[in-house]
Amino acid sequence: MYTLFMRYEDLTGQKFGAWTVIKRMPSSKSGATKWLCKCDCGTEKEVFATNLKRGLTNSCGCVASVQHSERAKTHGMTNTRIYRIWCGIKARCYNTDKDNYKWYGGLGIKMCDEWRSSFENFYKWAIANGYTEKLTLDRIDGKGNYEPLNCHWVTVKEQQNNRKDNVIITYKGETKTLSQWAETCGINRVTLWNRIFMNKWDIEKAFTEKVGKKTHNGMNKGTLKNADIKGGRKCMF
C-alpha cells in the first residue's frame, strides 16, 4: 500500500502585500490550503492560499484600525510599511476589538508615551536603530512594553527562532530549532516535520535522505533514534 500525498505550492517566505508567509497550516475541513502569515505590523494570522494569490487580502487591517485623525496626519507616510508597523502596535495594545489584543493590551503590555503620541518619534528611533524593509520589530523581553530600550529589529527567521513554542531537537550533541535543522539539512521544514512527526522516520534518515527519493511503503515506522525532541505545540516552528 502506498500513501498518496497531494502536492501544493510552497509559499513559505513569499510576500503578498503586507503579508509574509511563515509556514503551512492544517487545511480547512473543505480541504482549502491555509498559511500562517505575518503582517508588516507584526500580527500573525492564518490566511487561505487563494486569498493571498488573488490579492483578496493584503494585510491584517492594522492601518484601518487606527483612528482617522491619526491616519490624516501630514507626515506623508500613511501608505508605508513602517507606518503599518506603528499602527499595528497601537492596535494590539489598545484596540479591544483586535483578535490579538488579549495577548498584548489584555496582558498589560503598552506602547511608551513617546511612541504612542507621535509616529514621527517612532520613525526617528526606527531609522536610528537599523530599520530596513526586511526586518521586523521584536521585543527583547516578551513581557515588557513597546519602548526604545526593549525593542530591536530582527529578521522574521530570527524572531521565529526565538518563539517559546519552537520544536527543539538535540541531535548528536547539537541543539537547534526544527527550522534551523531544516536549513542545515537543506530540507523544507514542513517536509522535515512530516518525516519526523507524521511518518515517524528515524531522525538520522529524516535529516539525511534526499527529498524525492522513494522508499518502500512510502514511510519508515521506526522510532526516533539518537535525538532529544522538545517543544510546545509541534505545529509551530
Closest CA to 36 of 13, 17, 54, 58: 13
The CA-atom distances, in angstroms, between 53 and each of 13, 28, 60, 122, 133 are 14, 17, 15, 32, 21
Amino acid at 200: K
- Neighbour-count burial for 184-194, b at 16+ CB within 10 Å, e otherwise: ebebbbbebbe
Beta bridge partners, 34, equal: 25, 48
Supply the pTM of this predicted model.
0.47
Give the pLDDT confidence of 103-145 residue by residue, as tens digits: 889 989 999 999 998 999 999 999 999 999 888 888 888 788 9
**C-beta of residue 151 within 8 angstroms of C-beta of residue 174:** no
Mean pLDDT of the chain: 77
